[in-house]
Structure 1
Amino acid sequence: METGKLNWDILQRLIKKNSGAERAEVLKSGSIGEDCAVLKMNDGLIVMSTDPVTAATSGLGNIALHININDIATTGAEPLGVLVTILAPKGSSFGDIETVMKDISREARLMNVQVMGGHTEVTDAVNRMVVSLTAVGVVSEEELITTSGAKVGDSIIVTKSLCLEGTSIIAKDFPDRSREVLTEEELREAENYAMELSVLKEGMLLKGLASSMHDITEGGVLGALWEMAQASGTGFSVREDMMPVRRVTRKLCESFGLDPLRLISSGSMLIAVKDADEALRRLEGAGIKATVIGRVTEGRGILLAEEEIEVVPPARDEIYRLYE
């Protein structure tokens, strides 16, 4: 099998046949397009999500913390804590592991999130460090948002710019090749996109307004759109020329031969909402750039150079091509 997330059809078969026992407390399990599980407790809902970082070699703690808290944020939940698993290859130093934990702790402190526990080991089962987090949050039943909530007629909004995570990974892991097309100032800019990966603020601002929210990770914006459509039983019509991609990102994608619409994009939230004007007002009032890229429909397509084409689920994220 190829590197990257399992294809959606394979993953669906895997989940369907291996879901264990059913519990009444579990209101929603993770599924295609739904990254969080939701548990019913006496006084509210507990939201949980888990994700590893495997497509980067630097800034692992920062990335790992944000991609998991972002999943929690898409439900409108307040994040409470994380469990951290670190698998370090043989030859790793204490300093290597400590750097990851310091990054996680620094960002968690800023979001009032506690590092509650986890597991750390050095093992020859990996050839580079793997960091995986499980995040926990709480939300009321009335405020819960799911990816499956998108409705035909909703506007589709993307926050900030696409490919922030992918751009940062490329700049940090391939600096010499990046310098062939970027100035030193642009390279620093690309690296610093890693400081924009949180979408927690977006999630809190759009409670009670958004029909559906989904963070844009592996597979890029087209993968996220496909997942939202799959979860909600709808489709989408979006325009390529409306996609917010920064100049530095475009330069790197052109140089490395990558499609920015299929490149890992943590730091951007995909939002379906009936009242786009109000959503934009809230976001822009908080200093968050937001762009309407299309609408929720019954069919699934993207307008590319005036031609409507069908979107199929990406086989894997573009970033993995760089490590082959």
Structure 2
Amino acid sequence: MVKLSNDVLRRIVFTNLGVEDHDVIIGPRVGEDAAIVRIGNGYMAIHTDPITGAVEGIGWLAINIVANDIAVRGIKPRWFLLTLLLPHGINEGDIEKIMIDVNRALAELNGSLIGGHTEITPGIDRVIASTTAIGVGEHYVTTSGAKPGDLVLVTKYIALEGTAVLATDFENELVRRGVPREVINRAKGFVKEVSVVREALEIADLASAMHDPTEGGLLQGLLEIAEASDVKLRIDIDKVPILPETRQIFSALNMDPLASLSSGALVATIPRERIHTAGVKLSKLGINYSIIGEVVEGKPSIEVVKDDRIVNEVNGFIEDDVMGLWHRKYGG
């Protein structure tokens, strides 16, 4: 699945949203991770997302991907609804494997599956899982809150999800191109690191904006913060955290890890006076983080810096490298 461009969203999707409801605080907008609806004295965060894949790991991802989008609102994901569209020929053992992974992910998040739908669907050859996550809180964080002077923080490492997808779905090609199998096997395990729920909830009270970079990777996630907040982000390319396995795999395929699936890396903008506290909180959780740049005034874009020199200016819409390769292989 590939995201529509921001232009198409604005012209076609966002102009057909039904009646206006004053309890909808944040509805469909570019870059915003989840809807926010006023309920009584609190707020409900709601988000839905589909993913397509093989049986292996899809149940785990189906829960964690949407949980991230609730957590970056500073709200704990609590309830989930799951729709499973299954190809003909799938057996009960495969369905059970998906649901065991779903249950394991829910148990780790202390969440509950409260409904959904499951069917055998004609015309598909892989599982499609569409999940809705819901949470309730007293406060919320947006993607649009970044202010000039804030610092840009990234947790863990970028392209963890993308690296795991490449290692799983393109293993033979990677071996053919000289990537050692031990590197590929380690990279497959990165799928276990896609959750940002713990760190997002831990620093929500310190962040001016938080975002979960998915398709288009870190660059698209940063662009969405810049556009939503009407600011420019100045990023030091040498400070972006990338694991050696990611560098090796992406290099072998001539792809850019900055423009590839990055679930697992939380992006947050933090006022300078709060950055030390945020670092202490993350360190106590055992989660590494990097300060990769700052928010500055200017037209929404990404200013990429290396050795104190501007080497690139990024704007527009980033096509995801991993998703592009995946669709060329599987024809979706």
Same fold (TM over 0.5): yes
User: How far does residue 42 in structure 1 lie from its aligned partner after superposition?
Assistant: 1.4
CA contact (8 A) 2:63 2:105 kept: yes
Rounded Cα–Cα distance in structure 2 between residues aligned with 1:235 and 1:188: 38
Q: Is the contact made by 1:222 and 1:314 (CA closer than 8 Å) also made in structure 2?
A: no
Q: Which residue of 2 aligns with 1:266?
A: 263
The corresponding residue for 1:50 is 48
* Structure 1: gaps of 5 or more residues: none
Q: Distance in 2 between matches of 1:56 and 1:156?
A: 35
Equivalent residue number for residue 253 of structure 1: 250
How far apart, CA to CA, are the structure 2 residues paired with 1:64 and 1:47? 17
Displacement of 1:315 in angstroms is: 4.1
Match of 1:231 among 228, 231, 234: 228
- Secondary structure at the aligned position of 2:208 is classed as strand
Which residue pairs with 1:134 in the alignment? 132
In structure 1, how many angstroms separate the alpha carbons of the residues matched to 2:313 and 2:259? 14
In structure 2, the CA distance between the partners of 1:271 and 1:55, relative to structure 1 (3 Å rule), is farther
Counterpart contact for 2:53–2:127, Cα < 8 Å: no
Shift of 1:54: 2.8
Q: Distance in 1 between matches of 2:166 and 2:2?
A: 16
Residue 61 (structure 1) aligns with: 59
Indicate yes or no: 2:310 matched with 1:312. Answer: no
Query: Which segment drifts farther, 110-119 or 122-131?
Result: 122-131
Q: How does 1:30-109 map to 2 (within 5 A)?
A: 30-54=28-52, 58-109=56-107
Aligned twin of 2:305:
303
State the shift of 1:91 in Å. Answer: 1.6
CA deviation after TM superposition for structure 1 residue 276, in Å? 1.8
**Deviation, structure 1 residue 15:** 2.9
With the length of structure 1 as denominator, give the TM-score of the two structures: 0.94
Question: Residue 283 of structure 1 contacts residue 290 of structure 1 at CA under 8 Å; is this kept in 2?
Answer: yes
After superposition, the Cα gap between the structure-2 partners of 1:51 and 1:132, relative to the gap in structure 1 and judged at 3 Å, is same
Would the aligned equivalents of 1:222 and 1:313 in 2 still touch at CA under 8 Å?
no
TM-superposed CA distance for 1:285, in Å, is: 1.9
Runs of 4+ in 1 over 6 A off after TM superposition: none
Secondary structure of the structure 2 residue equivalent to 1:71:
helix
Does residue 28 in structure 1 map to residue 36 in structure 2?
no
**C-alpha spacing 1:148/1:55, structure 2 compared with 1 (3 Å):** farther
- What is the CA-CA distance between 1:99 and the residue it aligns to? 1.6
150, 158, 161: which one aligns with 1:162: 158
- Aligned twin of 1:278: 277
Q: Deviations over 1:42-98 (max 9, x none)?
A: 141111001111366631111111110000010110111110011111222222222
Provide the residue aligned with 2:290 in structure 1. Answer: 291
Please state how far the C-alpha of 1:8 moved relative to its aligned partner. Answer: 1.2
1:168-223 C-alpha deviation (Å, 9 max, x unpaired) = 11111122222343333222210110111110011111121100000111100000
Q: Which amino acid aligns with 2:174?
A: S
The alpha carbon displacement at 1:320 in A equals: 2.2
* Correspondence 1:209 to 2:206: yes
- SS state at 1:153 partner: coil
Secondary structure at the counterpart of residue 130 of structure 1 = strand
- The Cα RMSD (Å) is 1.6
Q: How does 1:1-20 map to 2 (within 5 A)?
A: 4-20=2-18
Deviations 1:85-140 (A, max 9, x none): 11111222222222222111111111110011101111123221111100001110
Unaligned runs of 5+ in 2: none
How many Å separate the matches in 1 of 2:153 and 2:254?
A: 26
Using the TM superposition, give the Cα deviation of residue 304 of structure 1 relative to its aligned residue in structure 2, in angstroms: 4.9
Match of 2:172 in 1: 176
Q: 271-280 or 259-268, which moves further after superposition?
A: 271-280
In the superposition, the TM-score normalised over structure 2's length comes to 0.92
In the alignment of these two chains, the number of paired residues is 320
Counterpart code for 1:105: N
How far apart in 1 are the matches of 2:54 and 2:185?
17
